[in-house]
């Protein structure tokens, strides 16, 4: 950036004229043997030039790196046809939006379903975005929604005995690597009080003795959340819970779904003699381990690996898989279609 600012500075007419005037004065002063005055004037103009360089650099940095300032995402789904891009970009132009990223996908060259994610910046407020979305939904018979990237997703994390996924999420959140805020940690084990206190997050112990009671308590403690994360929470959430919560619930399952659903997938994989193990982050639905898949990770294994080896390898896969899924969801890069996802 400093090199770019220097280039602009040296090509600035005011700066060139000032330097020319300085040289002329310097010649006159040299003839009068007033070298000290020439030196002082040179320092003055040098400082002025550095100030101009600093102002230019900051201006360009603002233009080039405007991440997080008035930055928004538009997600849209509709039947594919010619002219969709023209209509969307035209509508964004009408509200003075500048597109900085765009990704699209169609399920078929003709008569397919069209998906698009557009990231854009606005010089003013977001007041016109609701009208923009309504306009596009009407003209394209589309489903669309806009998001403000400066507003992180509010989440709560459910966890049982294994804490590797929880630890990774908390670390990445506190490192400003995830566009989320963690409102609480909820567990059917009472071992996370000190960890939650370390990260400044409320901890709630919920006994799993009564499913109905525990789910009521979870609902009560997650009213203000946007998503619920099951970070190796080894309890099955009921259909009543999912319908009552009525917001995305993201689960990490320790197998490469659809293989080895349910309990003890590493034992199932070992018994089957697989050569790959995996982890799957997916949306939780009423059907166990059958919700739309967001991210999957795999690792090769051999006949020499026992069940503990599979678990150790899987630990890394699970936390990385869940992390990548939460990052994609928090950046609004995921669109659900039927029982599948488009992940931009």
Which of 49, 64, 79 represents a domain boundary (last residue)? 64
**The two structure tokens encoding residue 34:** 């007033």
What does the pLDDT average to over 140-150? 97
- For residues 318 and 283, what is the distance between their CA atoms, to the nearest angstrom? 15
Q: CA 73, 78, 82 angle in degrees (round to 5)? A: 105
Least confident piece of the model among 123-132, 194-203, 211-220, 308-317 = 123-132
Query: What is d(CA 294, CA 51) in angstroms, rounded to the nearest whole number?
Result: 49
Structural domain boundaries enclosing 327: 153-343
Distance linking the first and last C-alpha atoms of the chain: 30
Say if residues 185 and 115 touch (Cβ distance below 8 Å): no
Catalytic residue among 103, 134, 163, 289: 289
Same domain, 52 and 121: no
List, in sequence order, every residue forming a beta bridge with 181; answer none if it has no partner: 154
308 pLDDT band, cuts 50/70/90, is very high
Is the model's pLDDT at 155 over the cut of 80? yes
| pLDDT reported for residue 123 | 82
Structure-token pair, residue 190: 């009472």
Residues 220 and 131 occupy one common structural domain: no
pLDDT at residue 70, rounded to an integer:
83
| Same domain, yes or no: 212 and 124 | no
**265 and 186, same domain (yes or no):** yes
Print the SS3 string covering the chain.
CHHHHHHHHHCCHHHHHHHHHHHHHHHHHHHCCCHHHHHHHHHHHHHHHHHHHHHHHHHHHHHHCCCCCCEEEEEEEEECCCCHHHHHHHHHHHCCEEEEEEEEEECCCCCCEEEEEEEEEECCCCCCHHHHHHHHHHHHCCEEEEEECCCCEEEEEEECCCCHHHHHHHHHHHCCCCCEEEEEEEECCCCCHHHHHHHCCCEEECCCCCHHHHHHHHHHHCCCCCEEEECCCCCCCCHHHHHHHCCCEEEEECCCCCCCCCCCHHHHHHHHCCCEEEEEEEECCCCCCCCCEEEEEEEECCCCCCHHHHHHHHHHHHHHHHHHHHHHHHCCCEEEECCEEEEC
Give the list of residues 6+ apart from residue 311 with CB closer than 8 angstroms, or none.
266
Tens digits of per-residue pLDDT, 204-261? 999 999 999 999 999 999 999 999 999 999 999 999 999 999 999 999 999 999 999 9
Tokens matching residue 155: 């989440």
Are 130 and 249 members of one domain? no
| 304 burial type by CB count under 10 A (0-12 exposed, 13-18 middle, 19+ buried) | exposed
List, for residues 11-56, the tens digit of each pLDDT value: 455 545 555 555 455 555 444 555 555 555 555 555 555 545 544 4
Q: Of 3-7, 9-13, 133-137, where does mean pLDDT reach its minimum?
A: 3-7
Residues 289 and 205 in one domain: yes
* Residue 110: pLDDT band with limits 50, 70, 90: confident
Residues 176 and 277 occupy one common structural domain = yes
Tokens matching residue 269: 């994989």
To the query of whether residue 130 is one of the catalytic residues in this protein, the response is no
CATH number for the domain harbouring residue 280: 3.40.50.170
How many structural domains does the chain have? 3
d(CA 343, CA 325): 9
pLDDT at 335: 98
Alpha-carbon distance of 222 to 314, in angstroms, equals 29
- Bigger pLDDT: 103 vs 109: 103
Place of tokens 């405007």: 66
Quick one: pLDDT at residue 11? 45
CATH number for 92: 3.30.70.260
Q: Determine the distance from the C-alpha atom of residue 314 to the mean position of all C-alpha atoms in its chain, rounded to a whole number.
A: 24
**Same domain, yes or no, for 141 and 165?**
no
Q: Are the C-beta atoms of 206 and 190 separated by less than 8 Å?
A: no
Same domain, 263 and 298: yes
Share of the chain above pLDDT 70, in %: 80
**Of 42, 64, 86, the domain-final residue:** 64
Q: Which residues pair with 76 in a beta bridge?
A: 116, 144
For 69-92, the pLDDT digits (tens) are 589 999 999 999 999 999 999 999
- Last residue within a domain, chosen from 118, 148, 178: 148
pLDDT at 145 over 80: yes
Give yes or no for a contact between 334 and 292, defined as CB atoms under 8 angstroms apart: no
Residue 30 CB burial class (10 angstroms; 0-12, 13-18, ≥19): exposed
212 and 97, same structural domain? no
């Amino acid at each position: 950036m400093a090199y770019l600012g220097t280039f602009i500075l040296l090509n600035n007419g005011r700066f060139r004229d000032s330097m020319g005037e300085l040289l002329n004065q310097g010649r006159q002063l040299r003839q009068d043997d007033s070298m000290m005055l020439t030196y002082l004037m040179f320092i003055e103009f040098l400082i002025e030039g550095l100030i101009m360089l600093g102002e230019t650099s900051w201006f360009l940095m603002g233009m080039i790196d405007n991440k997080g300032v008035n930055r928004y995402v538009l997600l849209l789904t509709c039947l594919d046809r010619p002219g969709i891009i023209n209509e969307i970009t035209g509508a964004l132009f009408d509200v003075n939006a500048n597109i900085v990223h765009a990704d699209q996908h169609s399920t078929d060259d003709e008569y397919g379903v069209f998906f698009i994610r557009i990231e854009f910046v606005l010089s003013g407020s977001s007041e016109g975005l609701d009208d923009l979305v309504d306009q596009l939904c009407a003209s394209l018979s589309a489903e669309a929604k806009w998001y403000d990237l400066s507003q992180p997703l509010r989440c709560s994390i459910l966890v049982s005995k294994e804490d590797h996924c929880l630890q990774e999420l908390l670390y990445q959140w506190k490192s400003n690597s995830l566009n989320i805020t963690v409102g609480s940690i909820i567990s059917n084990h009472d071992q996370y009080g000190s960890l939650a206190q370390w990260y400044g997050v409320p901890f709630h112990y919920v006994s799993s003795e009564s499913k109905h009671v525990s789910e009521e308590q979870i609902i009560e403690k997650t009213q203000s959340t946007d998503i619920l994360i099951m970070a190796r929470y080894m309890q099955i959430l009921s259909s009543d819970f999912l319908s009552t919560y009525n917001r995305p619930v993201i689960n990490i399952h320790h197998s490469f779904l659809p293989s080895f659903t349910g309990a003890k997938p590493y034992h199932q994989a070992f018994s089957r003699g697989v050569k790959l193990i995996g982890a799957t982050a997916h949306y939780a639905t009423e059907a166990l381990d059958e919700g739309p898949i967001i991210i999957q990770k795999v690792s090769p294994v051999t006949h020499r690996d026992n069940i503990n080896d599979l678990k150790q390898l899987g630990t890394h896969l699970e936390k990385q898989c869940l992390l990548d899924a939460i990052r994609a969801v928090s950046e609004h890069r995921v669109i659900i279609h039927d029982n599948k996802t488009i992940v931009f």
